[in-house]
Amino acid sequence: MSEPVLRRAVRAEWGLLVRTVWSGLRTRKLLAIPMTISAVLLTSLFQIVQNQSWGYQFVQNIGSVQADEHLWLALLRTPLSLFVPALDLPVWGALAQLLLVFGICEICLGRARTLLIAYAATLAGTMYARIGIWLGPDNPIGLPPTDAFVHDTGPSAAVVGLGIFVCWVYRAWFTCALVVLSMVYEVVFIKNNLAGREHIAAVVAVLALCGVWEVLHRRRKPRGEQQVRAGG
């Protein structure tokens, strides 16, 4: 592939998205991503607190979700569970995901829509865990009973969902497909565990939301207009 063709392909894939992010950061700087900065700070705070002898149980009580808990309690904890770093993963990974993906989406989608998609993706994973355990390990999409006691925290499902949605809205089709396929590859070839399967649940839920957005978008826009407005 020649360089001009490659450049055109990159521009077609990411041009509108990059221009929108750059414009937001250039005009407002860090004021363009106050929610993202708050999320990074909150996650850092939870990481510090949960590593203290006095703070671990406190963080678990307000932001840790397990499938063996009552549903209403899990629903109350789910919003904060996005910002509680998983104990078995390096916290810098969660912080980097939040800063990059949440920051892009806050500028391109707006704060309300970013939070909605993030929560929907996380909630899809939380609900799948309960359904999967109910189905049992003999079902192709079921889970073993021991997964009911796995701590379900971290922003990964939200990050996956937001990545898919913003790529869909900004017509970055190759990147969108790459995210979806990488999640499938993760479950099939790398780790067929609760976290991996929750990522698939988040993918399915957000693709359904993409379909809803597409229908509403086409009704709202005049026929033939293809360009997506920044933050629209």
Look up residue 107 and give its two tokens. 């500028």
Look up residue 40 and give its two tokens. 């990074």
All domains in the chain, ordered by first residue: 3-220 (1.20.1540.10)
Q: Bridge partners of 152?
A: 65
Compute the average pLDDT of residues 211-231: 68
Question: DSSP letter at 231?
Answer: T
Q: Bridge partners of 65?
A: 152
Q: Are 194 and 147 in contact (CB under 8 A)?
A: yes
**Position 220 confidence tier, pLDDT thresholds 50, 70, 90:** confident
pLDDT tens sequence across 83-130: 999 888 899 999 999 999 999 999 999 999 999 999 999 999 999 999
**Predicted pLDDT of residue 181:** 98
How far is the C-alpha of 192 from the C-alpha of 207, rounded, in Å?
21
How far is the C-alpha of 68 from the C-alpha of 80, rounded, in Å?
18
Q: Does residue 174 have a pLDDT over 50?
A: yes
**Predicted pLDDT of residue 218:** 83
